């Protein structure tokens, strides 16, 4: 072989090798860049979704990895969202109102069905209080700025009483339970599973739940930035959460058993809580944002938030 044909053979080999290296590189470049979904979860449906691993399987083809962080309460999750350390979480009605009022870049991305039976006013079994009107002048404990705070305002309104007609005592659930047991408060406004626990273990009597008064939904939230740029990821996440809900609807006993283990509560307490929970996760509508707007306006009137907020600013 002369030197000319030898060098052209070598040139073809080098070109062929370069092309072989370039092809997979081009293929990798054509794929979506890797993304991370950082979920902040409380012990509940998101924990069950984490345990199943189905979300990771569905997001893998999109090049999305999932990172989970457990939180003890909604306000802490929203603080994490505000400082940019999570992209998604679950929360009740009230905490996002405070977060938006404080300037958090919050976006509501899904809502549960209303759960009016999951919050109520309870009184000791032998209490003389027989109706909501009997609460006038009584000591009523609740968690300040929570969903039950709004519920009490609306319940009193419905029965012709003003918020100032009762003596409201602000106590977190554990302290309120202790006060209820000691008889140092007359009534307690509380949500499940604390409500179910008080009914099962303290023989508390249900005076009124939120049926016909307020909706009491739970929400899933993201940041406006993340939700705007990752609509595909949010859509899959909501679908997977709804699948957990549909499973729970059809398997309430098994669902209660999983939650009882998660929460460290007796199964009968959780079964009572689950028995009055409607299931289903769906999109945010203008009507749902309207419900939240009413809560925000009520909290403004009570002096709980510093300024009026527009819930439509938290829509994607």
**Paired strand residues for 122:** 188, 206
Same fold, 35-113+217-314 and 116-209: yes
Task: Give the domain 35-113+217-314 fold.
Answer: D-Maltodextrin-Binding Protein; domain 2 (3.40.190)
Cα distance between residue 176 and residue 198, in whole Å: 11
In the CATH scheme, what is the code of domain 116-209? 3.40.190.10
Per domain, the residue ranges of the chain are: 35-113+217-314, 116-209
Using alpha carbons, list the distances in angstroms from residue 235 to 105, 226, 227, 238, 306.
19, 12, 10, 5, 33
pTM of the entire structure?
A: 0.83
pLDDT in tens, 156-213: 999 999 999 999 999 999 999 999 999 999 999 999 999 999 999 999 999 999 999 9
pLDDT of residue 31: 54
Cα distance between residue 198 and residue 210, in whole Å: 17
pLDDT in tens, 291-302: 999 999 999 998
Q: Report the candidate in 292, 299, 256, 298 with the shortest Cα–Cα distance to residue 274.
A: 256
């Amino acid at each position: 072989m002369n030197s000319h044909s030898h060098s052209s053979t070598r040139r073809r080999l080098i070109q062929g090798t370069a092309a072989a290296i370039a092809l997979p590189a081009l293929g990798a470049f054509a794929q979506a860049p890797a993304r991370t979904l950082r979920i902040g979860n409380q012990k509940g449906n998101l924990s069950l979704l984490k345990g199943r691993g189905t979300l990771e399987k569905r997001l893998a083809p999109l090049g999305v990895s999932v990172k989970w962080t457990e939180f003890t309460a909604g306000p802490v999750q929203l603080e994490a969202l505000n400082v940019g350390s999570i992209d998604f979480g679950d929360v009740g009605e009230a905490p996002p109102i405070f977060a938006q009022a404080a300037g958090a870049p919050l976006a509501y991305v899904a809502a549960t069905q209303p759960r009016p039976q999951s919050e109520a006013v309870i009184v000791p079994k032998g209490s003389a209080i027989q109706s909501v009107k009997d609460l006038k002048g009584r000591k009523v404990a609740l968690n300040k700025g929570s969903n039950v705070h709004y519920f009490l305002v609306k319940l009193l309104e419905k029965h012709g009483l003003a918020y100032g007609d009762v003596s409201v005592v602000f106590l977190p659930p554990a302290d309120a339970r202790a006060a209820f047991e000691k008889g140092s408060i007359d009534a307690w406004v509380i949500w499940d599973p604390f409500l179910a626990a008080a009914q099962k273990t303290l023989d508390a009597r249900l005076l009124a739940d939120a049926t016909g008064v307020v909706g009491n939904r739970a929400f899933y939230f993201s940041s406006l930035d993340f939700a705007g740029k990752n609509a595909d990821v949010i859509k899959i996440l909501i679908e997977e959460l709804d699948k957990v809900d549909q499973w729970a609807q059809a398997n309430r006993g098994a669902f209660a058993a999983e939650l009882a283990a998660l929460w460290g509560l007796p199964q009968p307490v959780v079964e009572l809580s689950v028995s009055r929970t409607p299931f289903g996760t769906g999109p945010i509508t203008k009507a749902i944002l309207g419900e939240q707007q009413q809560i925000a306006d009520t909290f403004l009137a009570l002096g709980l938030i510093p300024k009026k907020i527009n819930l439509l600013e938290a829509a994607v």
